[in-house]
Amino acid sequence: MKLPPYAALLEATLERDEDDTPVMVMPFHAGVLGRPGFLQGGAIAGLLEVAAIAALRHALESEGGGRIKPINVTVDFMRGGRDRETRAAGRITRLGNRVANVVAFAWQDDRERPIAAARMNYLIERD
């Protein structure tokens, strides 16, 4: 699966969950450092967006593919991201003919305690 170039800047890699859904994994490194010992908010938001794109592309692969363009992104920061590996996964809440709605969550130690969440809308141009 082709990921946005920003994924490489974040050093994020793609893994698969038990049910084959994509999960993005971002290691802590100097490029994502905010204040000492914490992730920078833009890196968290970027990881959430990459996770949403991965989920959407995964879903579109089974339907013949297509291009996606972001319409809007809203990020909620719930707690500070610490200096450790961060994971994020997207879940499609609606996949229409021209618009998709996706939610994404980022977590560190416990998936049930997210550090941030995002709601995103994408325009779909199907192949």
Q: Would you place residue 65 in the very low, low, confident or very high pLDDT band (cuts 50, 70, 90)? A: confident
Tell me the whole-structure pTM to 2 decimals. 0.94
Q: Please state, rounded to an integer, the average pLDDT across all residues of the chain.
A: 95
Confidence of residue 39 (pLDDT cuts 50, 70, 90): very high
Residue keyed to tokens 């450790």: 84
Identify the band that residue 63 occupies on the pLDDT scale cut at 50, 70 and 90. Answer: confident
pLDDT of residue 115: 98
Alpha-carbon span 66 to 63, nearest angstrom? 9
In CATH, the number for domain 5-126 is 3.10.129.10
Residue with tokens 């698969």: 16
Q: What is the pLDDT of residues 82-110, one digit of tens each?
A: 999 999 999 999 999 999 999 999 999 99
Cβ atoms of 104 and 76 within 8 Å: the answer is: no
d(CA 66, CA 84): 34
Per-domain residue ranges of the chain = 5-126
Cβ–Cβ under 8 Å, residues 100 and 58: no
